[in-house]
Structures are given as structure tokens and as C-alpha cells.
Structure 1
């Protein structure tokens, strides 16, 4: 239990098609893709800022 088989995936896809229709799904996927891209960019920027702060702290400690 807890694993999706082929039958379950087909059922899920059929329900999604019925709910949203064939024209709306590409728009939803495009929005999802751009959201993931923005999240990755934000995570990368946060990581860059964090490493820059660590370098600055290390430089200040070396001066003392």
C-alpha cells in the first residue's frame, strides 16, 4: 500500500483531464515550471549571499 500502479496513474490523469480540460493543463504546467525556476533562483541567491557573508566574516577575523 502507498505505491501508485499504472491503473492508479491512469485514473488520476483522467480525473485531472476532466476537471481542467485539455486546454488548461499546459497553462498550469507552464506556471508550475516558472514557479520551480523562481524557487531555484531564490535558493541559489540565498546560498551565494550566505557564502559571501562567511567569507567577509573570515576576512574580518584574519585582520584581528
Structure 2
């Protein structure tokens, strides 16, 4: 049976009220984790006040 480990990373969003993702930095982090065997499972933004988001959350998994 496969066993998995999980990692959750929080990326800060830029801009007034948030919502702007620095894609170059984001891609760098995704590729770095991918090289370590992590697979991106989900990415989402938790809603803040008035629907604005200050963070993006990325969830990864890899076999143990």
C-alpha cells in the first residue's frame, strides 16, 4: 500500500488588498519542490475581508 506525506506552503499575495501572485517566485518554489519529489495536489486562496485574499495556499504530496 502506498504511504504519503504532505506539505502545505503559504505564499503571500501582493497588491492593495492582496490578490496579485508573483508568478516568477511561485514557479520557482513549485519547481524546487517538484525536484524534491513533491507533487502539487491543490492550490487555493482563503477569503479575507470583503473577498480579498492575502495568501495562496499550496498543498503537495509525495510517497514516503
TM above 0.5, one fold? Answer: no
Shorter-chain TM-score bucket reads under 0.3
Q: Is the helix fraction higher in 1 or 2?
A: 1
TM-score for both structures, normalised by structure 1: 0.28
TM-score for both structures, normalised by structure 2: 0.28
Higher relative contact order (CA 8 A, sep 6+): 2
Q: Is the strand fraction higher in 1 or 2?
A: 2
Which structure is larger by alpha-carbon Rg, 1 or 2? 1
